[in-house]
Structure formats: C-alpha cells, structure tokens
C-alpha cells in the first residue's frame, strides 16, 4: 500500500542522502536550486530526493511550480555519478518520459543547467555558436573520450530529427540518460544499439504521469514499461494524480511511497491544489463581451506576458490573425499541428519579446512548461477535462511568484462551473472590480474583427473552420450538463466570432434551423455585402474559385476538388476512357465468376452422394423459378406465375 505524507506535515529537512555523497556535489546542487528561484530546496525536493536516493518507488503529487523537475533530476545525477562505471557506451541508466515536446525539451534544458555546476559534465557539453536562425544546441563528446564520470543526456522528440538520425546520434554519443516523448522513446528503445540491463538501469521517471496514460500515449508507454528492466526505481510526478496513475502504480511499481505536497488556503484548509501565490478568478460575460473585456483587463493590469488558452488548433489559427490588431499586442501561436522547430521558435520569440505579448495556445502547453514571468493566464475556452484546469492556471504564480489566472464563462449554465470546481477543491473568486463593457464596445469589437476578415478570404475560411471545431470541442467538454450545446445563444456566438455567414454543420442544422433558409440570420450583416466578392490573396487559389463560380453561372456541374481522398478517386475513375472502364469491368466480372466456380467445386466436393442429389434438385427448382419470372416480366404469361404443382 502506498504511504502518504504531506509537505505541510513536518518541517522540511535537508536531503542527507545527496549531501553525504560529497560536500562539493551537494553544494552545486543546492546552488542550482537557488538559481532556479527556490530557497535552496523546496518541501517537495526535501522529501522526494531522499526517497529516490534510498531506492524507493515514488508517486509525487504537488502543486504547479513547486520544483518537481529538480526533485527527480537531482537523484538521477547523484546516483549516476556515484556508480562505478557510469559512462559505459550504449548502456542507458535512466529515462525521463514527458507527454509533450516542449516539456521534454524543458527538462533537458534544466538538466543541462544543472550539469553546468559539475565540472566533468560541463567539460563534456561543449556549446557551439548557433547560426542566426539556428536553435541553441549543445554538442556532446562520445563516451569513450571521457576521463571521469559524467552525465551524457540525449533528447528524443519527434520532428527534431528523423528516427535513424536519433539512433545514429545515440551510437555516437553513448548517452546514459534519455529524455523524450513516448513515441520517439519507444522507437529508439527497440533499437539493438540500446542496452537496457538489469544491473545497469536505475531510474524511470514519468513526468505528468496522468497525462501519459491518455489513449494517445498508452500503447507507447506500455511498450516502454515492457522494455525497461523490472528491477528498477520508478517515479511518477504530476500536479494531479488520477485513477489512471493509481492503475499504473499497481502495474509498474512495488510498494510506492506517495508524497502529496499541498498548501493551506486562507481558511486553513490543506487541500488547496494551486500555490498560494496564484490567484484564481472568473468573469461571467456574454460571448460578444469576452474580447472587449479581455482588452480592458490587459490594459488595466498592464500585463507584459500572458498566455491565452483556446480549445482547438483551428481556433489558434484563426485568433492569431484577429487578436494583434484588436488587443494591440504581439501574438505568438503554438499548437500541436505546428512542426517542432516552429513551436520552439514561436515559444522562444515569446519569451524574448520585450513588448507586451500573448502566447496563444491549446492544452499542448498546459502542463509542466515553465515560462518565466507570466503575469496572467486567460482561459477564453474552458478545458475539456476538469483536471487540466489546474495545469493551465499553473503556468503563472510559479516558484513563489505572484500570478493570476482568469477564466471566462458564458452567462447561463456555465456559471455552475465555479461551484463544480469548488466541490473538486479548487476555489475561484469573482474578478475584483471588473471593467464595464457596453453594447457599443461589443459592437465596435465585432466591426474590428470583421474588418480583418474581409481583408482576404483565407481568414474567412479559418473563421468557418474554427467555429465548427469549437462547437465540436464544446460538445465534448465536461461536465456535459454545465457545457450543454443545446443551451448556447447561437446569435451571440456568431457575432462574437465575427462570422460573415453561418457554416454548414449538423449541429446548426439540428439546433439552429433558422440559418438553413438565411445563411446570415442574426449576424447583422450589411445588405450590400457580397461574400462572393471576397477574394483569396493566393492568386492560384482565387483563379480556381473564379472558375468554379463561372461554371456554376453557366449551369454546369463544377469539377470535383483536386485534393486527395474519395473525391479524387471518384474523379480519376470518371475521367478514365469508356473503353478502359468497360475492359476493367469485364476483368472484375470474370474474376468473380472464377471465384464462384472454385467455391462451388469445393462445396460439392465435401458433400455426400445424397446431398449432391438434393443440391441438384434445388438447382433445378431455382432454374424453373428464374425461367417463370423472366417470362412473366416479358409478358408471355397472362395470368402471372402461380407457383409449382404438388
């Protein structure tokens, strides 16, 4: 049975396990913890480090920004440096698994910063000057070039390098720590060049462990658990330990020790799930008032760095074109469809931006990411899973710094979300002194959004796609009785999104039938606005659209899309010559006849003599039926078919 302790239950103690290694080693570890903004060691580190150093399986549930990353990196480093032969090429001693590329990269960077305090490891990591458009990378010497114990990490994430390149890098470097995402880790660990021996492998760490057991990750994670030796130490770390983690504890851990590091709220309760330095607020407004309200909040608080969460990737692609001019700030978009270099570049540009900026993203950056000096977290859309609420908010108020998270809720049933979170142990306060937003402010915002939409047709297309994806995501948002798609105000939503017309989708057809006869119903569009006159900025795409419109004007059936899929297959079949189609049909019919003859022969071969006679009589009867039917259809039988005589 898992043992439990609370970080508030006793005064934090210095972790003697790593202090006993060498005074110098303990000192540079504590110096780095201090450089990261922690007071030497945090309560989580003071409790977790001795347990991992003492060969304990460990489950850690701690509030965001409490120093969980260092609490598992420090034991990995100290245990490895105290090993007899840590630099044996090809032998992996520890693995860290993270759910996202950004989190894996962050852990890798923290480890590099930690190793900078260790001279032998720092000598191995040789920085080179990057090009103007290159990422900050570190070159590592091969293991055989080392004269003493050192830590050699390798980052394994998709999109950064091809699989064969990662395997080649592994063979050259001989890393002893692997940090990466489940998919790429599982692919590399299956290589014959990777050695996972029982007497060499030490620690397996799962960061954001509950997220790793989502259906998207579970197969790869199970494969990793099967590949690593069973005789190991395992650590699970997350701000929210769910039933999925409890299941993983039973599968992959033995008698785990559980640390639940909590903080006291102002009322003295010990169940607060977020740090005391983070203030959680909510604003209940009409959909058309969200953006003007956000603009006034950003101005009033004079925020420099903010993160804005929306529910879908298509929403990020749409709002990135709308928010810069509307809010007067720089907007840097990040979502899961972006390639790894683009995600890293936008994230770096946001961090380095010296003017007010917004990081516009989805839940891909909701967990574990430590971005310095985030003043405000804004949730324009609620998370689909309630457990992700804490992780989103936790991007602010980290390491004891003050922060605020604001959640926007639509008037109506969504207001019950505050009570629901309160029942789950997360208390939200009403935003103090909310700014007043008039109907004219909302109307002005809608006009500004539509001004951006009519600049080019591509943005209009994104608005349609984003709205459809938002509706589909809303239907999957939990709790379903609070976020009920049947209760939304469609006219308010359409105006808030700045739609120029309603998209075609089953939800609107079923729940808002007025738009079937009038595609601009309730949107208050000008009567002289002609959507067909809105052109694409891409000349090739606009040319195809004009050809389509001209074909429709002539009463012709427009050609099918040239894109792949079923439409392309149908188009190719239709464009084939008639003679070729006839020959292909004859070939298919001949093939079917040969198969039927073969099956009949096989079936008859298994029959007895009596069964063959009965089958012959049945075939004769079927033949007579067909003959009579054909005569009746040809009009040769005046009275029709009356059946067979007895």
CATH superfamily of 278-435: P-loop containing nucleotide triphosphate hydrolases (3.40.50.300)
Residue 496 carries which DSSP code?
H
CB 261 within 8 A of CB 7: yes
Residue 142, class by beta-carbon neighbours within 10 Å (0-12 exposed, 13-18 middle, 19+ buried)?
Answer: middle
| C-alpha dist (Å) from residue 113 to 73, 110, 374 | 11, 5, 21
What span, in angstroms and rounded, lies between the C-alpha atoms of 322 and 313?
Answer: 15
End-to-end alpha carbon distance in the chain: 79
Q: Is the dihedral of CA 97, 98, 99, 102 positive or negative?
A: negative
Residue 3 CA to residue 256 CA, distance in Å, equals 7
Question: Is the per-residue pLDDT at 79 higher than 80?
Answer: yes
Cβ neighbours of residue 646 under 8 Å, at least 6 residues apart? none
- Name the percent of the chain lying above pLDDT 90: 42
Question: Got the DSSP string for 511-524?
Answer: H-THHHH-TTTTS-
pLDDT digits (tens, 9 = 90+) for 491-515: 999 999 999 999 999 999 999 999 9
Residue 645, pLDDT score: 47
Per-residue pLDDT at 217 exceeds 70: yes
pTM greater than the 0.85 cutoff: no
pLDDT at 508: 94
- Is domain 3-125+139-261 annotated with CATH 3.40.640.10? no
pLDDT at 11: 34
- 90: confidence class by pLDDT, cuts 50, 70, 90: confident
State percent of the chain over pLDDT 70.
Answer: 76
pLDDT value at position 258?
A: 80
Q: Taking all residues of the chain, what is their mean pLDDT, rounded to a whole number?
A: 80
Give the residue from 462, 467, 474, 529 showing the smallest Cα distance to 496: 467
- Over the stretch 309-318, which tens digit does the pLDDT of each residue have? 999 999 999 9
DSSP single-letter state for residue 381: S
Tell me which long-range contacts 22-27 makes (C-beta under 8 A, separation of at least 24).
25/78, 25/81, 25/118
Nearest one of 370, 344, 354 to 305, comparing CA atoms: 354
Q: Is the pLDDT of residue 459 over 60?
A: yes
Residue 128 has pLDDT above 50, yes or no: no
The pLDDT of residue 136 is above 50 = no
More confident residue, 148 or 382: 382
User: Which residue's entry shows tokens 């005064």?
Assistant: 11
Q: What is the mean pLDDT of residues 541-556?
A: 88
Q: Residues 180, 151: contact at Cβ < 8 Å?
A: no
* pLDDT for 592: 79
Question: Average pLDDT for residues 32-48, to the nearest whole number?
Answer: 56
Residue 542, classed as helix, strand or coil, is helix
Nearest residue to 49 via CA among 21, 65, 73: 73
CA 258-261-263 angle, 5° bins: 155
- Buried (b) or exposed (e) across 423-441, using 16+ Cβ within 10 A? eeebbbeebeebeebeeeb
Given a cut of 70, is residue 350 above it in pLDDT? yes
Parallel/antiparallel/unpaired status of strands 138-140 and 125-127? antiparallel
Mean pLDDT confidence for 587-609: 74
Whether residue 33 has pLDDT greater than 60: no
Q: Say what the pLDDT of residue 499 is.
A: 96
Residues 6+ apart with CB under 8 A from 639: none
Q: Cβ distance 347 to 384 under 8 Å? A: no
579 against 284, higher pLDDT? 284
**Average of pLDDT values for 595-614?**
74
On whether the CB atoms of residues 431 and 311 are closer than 8 A, the answer is: no
pLDDT at residue 484 in the model: 93
**Pairing mode, strands 403-410 and 376-379:** parallel
For residue 411, the SS3 value is coil
| Across 342-369, average pLDDT | 92
Q: How far apart are CA 32 and CA 38, in angstroms?
A: 9
pLDDT tier at 127 (50, 70, 90 boundaries)? very low
Q: What is the per-residue pLDDT for 338?
A: 92
In DSSP terms, 180 is beta-bridged to 97, 156
- The residue extents of the domains of the chain are 3-125+139-261, 278-435, 538-584
Contacts of 393 (CB under 8 A, 6+ apart): 64, 274, 278, 280, 377, 379, 405
Show the tokens assigned to 434. 């909310």
To the nearest 10 degrees (0 to 180), the angle between helices 182-189 and 218-227 is 40
Dihedral sign from CA coordinates of 593, 595, 599, 602: positive
> What token pair was written down for 135?
């990422």
Are 3-125+139-261 and 278-435 the same fold in CATH?
A: yes
pLDDT, average across residues 22-45: 55
Q: Which range (36-40, 113-117, 450-454) has the least confidence?
A: 36-40
Q: Looking up tokens 């997360």, which residue turns up?
A: 426
pLDDT, tens digit, 9 for 90 and up, residues 157-210: 988 889 999 999 998 888 889 999 999 999 999 998 888 888 889 899 999 888
Query: pLDDT tens digit string along 279-308?
Result: 999 999 999 999 999 999 999 999 999 999
Structure tokens at 292: 């003007």
Six-digit token pair at 449? 């959004």
Q: Within 61-118, where are the H helices?
A: 68-81, 101-115
Which residue do the tokens 């059936």 mark?
A: 557
Rounded CA gap, 474 and 452, in Å?
25
pLDDT tens across 236-294, in order?
888 776 656 666 666 677 777 787 766 655 555 545 566 778 899 999 999 999 999 99
DSSP 131: P
Q: What is the mean pLDDT of residues 453-479?
A: 94
Q: Give the dihedral of Cα atoms 388, 393, 398, 401; nearest 10 deg.
A: -160
Other CB atoms within a 10 A radius of the CB of residue 447 amount to: 10
- How far is CA 104 from its chain centroid? 14
Which of helix, strand or coil describes residue 221? Answer: helix
- CA separation for the pair 173, 169 (Å, rounded): 6
Please determine, for residue 77, whether its predicted confidence score (pLDDT) is greater than 80: yes
- DSSP assignment letter at 58: E
């Amino acid at each position: 049975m898992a043992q439990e302790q609370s970080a508030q239950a006793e005064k934090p103690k210095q972790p003697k396990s790593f202090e006993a290694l060498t005074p110098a080693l303990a000192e540079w570890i504590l110096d780095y913890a201090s450089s990261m903004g922690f007071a030497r060691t945090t309560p989580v580190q003071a409790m977790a480090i001795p347990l991992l150093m003492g060969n304990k399986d460990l489950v850690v549930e701690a509030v965001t920004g409490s120093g969980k990353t260092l609490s598992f990196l420090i034991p990995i480093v100290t245990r490895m440096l105290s090993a007899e032969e840590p630099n044996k090429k090809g032998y992996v001693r520890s693995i860290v698994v993270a759910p996202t590329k950004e989190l894996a990269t962050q852990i890798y960077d923290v480890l590099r910063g930690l190793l900078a305090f260790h001279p032998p490891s720092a000598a191995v990591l040789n920085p080179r000057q990057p090009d103007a458009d290159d990422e900050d990378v570190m070159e590592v010497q091969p293991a055989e070039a080392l004269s003493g114990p050192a830590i050699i990490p390798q980052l394994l994430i998709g999109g950064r390098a091809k699989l064969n390149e990662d395997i080649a890098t592994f063979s050259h470097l001989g890393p002893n720590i692997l940090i990466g995402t489940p998919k790429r880790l599982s692919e590399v660990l299956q290589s014959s060049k990777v050695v996972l021996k029982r007497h060499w492998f030490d620690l397996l760490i799962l960061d954001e462990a509950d997220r790793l057991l989502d259906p998207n990750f579970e197969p790869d994670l199970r494969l990793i658990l099967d590949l690593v030796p069973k005789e190991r130490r395992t650590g699970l770390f997350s701000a929210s330990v769910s039933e999925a983690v409890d299941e993983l504890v039973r599968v992959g851990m033995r008698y785990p020790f559980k640390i639940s590091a909590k903080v006291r709220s102002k009322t003295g309760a010990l169940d607060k799930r977020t740090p005391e330095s983070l203030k959680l607020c909510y604003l209940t407004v009409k959909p058309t008032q969200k953006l003007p309200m956000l603009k006034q909040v950003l101005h009033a608080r004079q925020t420099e760095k903010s993160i804005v969460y929306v529910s879908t990737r298509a929403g990020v692609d749409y709002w990135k074109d709308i928010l810069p001019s509307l809010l007067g700030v720089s907007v840097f978009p990040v979502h899961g469809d972006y390639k790894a270099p683009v995600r890293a570049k936008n994230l770096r540009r946001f961090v380095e931006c010296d003017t007010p900026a917004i990081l516009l993203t989805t839940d891909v950056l909701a967990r574990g990411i430590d971005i310095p000096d985030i003043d405000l977290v804004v949730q324009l859309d609620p998370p689909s899973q309630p457990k992700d609420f804490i992780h989103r908010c936790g991007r602010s108020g980290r390491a004891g710094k003050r922060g605020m998270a604001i959640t926007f809720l639509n008037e109506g049933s969504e207001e019950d979300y505050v009570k629901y979170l309160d029942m789950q142990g997360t208390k939200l306060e009403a935003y103090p002194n909310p700014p007043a937003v008039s109907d004219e402010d909302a109307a002005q915002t809608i006009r500004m959004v539509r001004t951006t939409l009519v600049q080019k047709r591509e943005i209009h297309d994104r608005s349609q796609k984003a709205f459809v994806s938002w509706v589909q995501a809303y239907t999957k948002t939990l709790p379903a009785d609070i976020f009920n798609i049947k209760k939304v105000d469609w006219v308010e939503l359409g105006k808030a999104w700045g739609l120029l017309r309603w998209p075609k989708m089953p939800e609107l057809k079923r729940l808002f039938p007025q738009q079937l006869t009038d595609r601009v119903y309730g949107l208050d569009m000008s009567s002289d606005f002609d959507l067909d006159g809105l052109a694409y900025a891409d000349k090739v795409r606009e040319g195809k659209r004009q050809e389509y419109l001209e074909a429709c004007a002539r009463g012709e059936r427009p050609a099918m899309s040239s894109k792949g899929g079923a439409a392309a297959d149908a188009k190719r079949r239709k464009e084939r010559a008639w003679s070729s189609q006839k020959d292909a049909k004859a070939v298919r019919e001949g093939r079917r006849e040969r198969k039927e003859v073969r099956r009949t022969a096989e079936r008859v071969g298994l029959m007895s003599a009596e069964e063959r006679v009965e089958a012959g009589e049945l075939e004769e009867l079927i033949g007579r039926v067909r003959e009579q039917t054909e005569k009746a259809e040809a009009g040769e039988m005046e009275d029709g078919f009356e059946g067979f005589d007895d």
